[in-house]
Structure 1
Amino acid sequence: MTDYASLERQLSALLDTRDWLTNAAQTSAFLMHTLEDLNWVGFYLQRQPETLILGPFQGQPACNPIPFSRGVCGAAARTRETQRIDDVHAVPDHIACDAASRSELVVPVLVDGKVWGVLDIDSPRPARFSAEDQAGIERLCRIFIDASDL
């Protein structure tokens, strides 16, 4: 069981600048090294209409760009709702960047109601993310948003 309250305090202390790029890189590295059973953590940014482009991340090289109309990241951006997927191979339009990924959690990063990007987390373990993980990671994402000039 992950102590998300402790992780929230640690991430808050780590993000000591308002620079979004530094904070995104730090958040990705922090999550990759503090949460178990992950193989990719990073941000995709909306820099073109209805399209996500690769931002700071930890893990294997990733797919780029991702349209809002495809994949789990696209669904999170399109619906503005967190996507928690137990088996990515069961998602018909899943974009497979790393064949080792089996489950995924994608949190939309919203600023003033608009999609700034998404935080994407992949695991090689099926059903890696629980409702508790989702709530905890959503809170960690909120810390990133509040600490950054987005």
Structure 2
Amino acid sequence: MTLYVIGKPIKHSLSPIIHNFWINKYKLSLEYKKMEVEKDFLPSLIKDVRNGKVTGLNITIPYKRDIIKFIDEISNTAKDIGAINTVFLKRDKVYGDNTDGIGFTRALEKKKNFNFFNKSIYVLGAGGASHGIISELIKKKSENNLCC
């Protein structure tokens, strides 16, 4: 089974190193690769997910918004922020979600025992992940969320 992180450019991505570490540690029958793609190749990739040729995709710049129109079903989180970073088959439909925010907040909560409630949080940068992070911070009832 093959998973990909896709984007353009993609050579900077550390996702394969990170994911393959865990795949190897837990001896999973998976392979995680990066693939630089053009926008017009997105429908073909989604077709490969739909027919099982590709197990799943992580989406990075610049396609987090562009991929939406090819997805069958979208999580509420992805709808709210208008961006998808994870694509997989769920109940025979191509499903899109955004895990940027929940990944960020859970990491701080679990590793650093951080409580976001009533905290002032400043997000530096307005890239693709910032939308998901700010959305999750609002859900956590942090205040004064500022994106620079």
Task: Say whether the fold is shared (TM-score over 0.5).
Answer: no
- What is the TM-score normalised by the length of structure 2? 0.28
Q: Which has the larger radius of gyration?
A: 2
Q: Which has the higher contact order (CA 8 A, sep 6+)?
A: 1
- What is the TM-score normalised by the length of structure 1? 0.28
